[in-house]
Amino acid sequence: MTEQVRPRVRYVIGPDGSPLTVADLPPGNTQRWVIRRKAEVVAAVRGGLLSLEEACSRYTLTIDEFLSWQALIDRHGLAGLRATRIQEYRG
């Protein structure tokens, strides 16, 4: 059985509207996850720059953690990723 593989893209449009390449992504050892970094990783996965598995492996994230970032962006925009507002958005 042949598995369909999406071709790797060179760049995606980042959360600020600028092109985002693999080189522009946060480093793999990122400890401090600010809104911009989370949004860049979500944009990279959504655009096909990284697979979900690659992103989780590279950043030592659980799939649930990544999916929660994605859901918060969908529901509340970038402000949903603010750690200080987590109680307001997860009610």
Q: For the chain, list the domains and their CATH numbers.
A: 11-76 (1.10.10.10)
Question: Is pLDDT above 60 for 87?
Answer: no
Nearest CA to 61 out of 82, 33, 20, 23 is that of: 33
**Could you report the per-residue pLDDT of 13-65, keeping only the tens digit for each?**
999 999 999 999 999 999 999 999 999 999 999 999 999 999 999 999 999 99
For the chain, state the CA radius of gyration: 14
pTM value?
Answer: 0.84
Inform me whether the pLDDT recorded for 89 exceeds 60: no
CA distance 62 to 70: 13
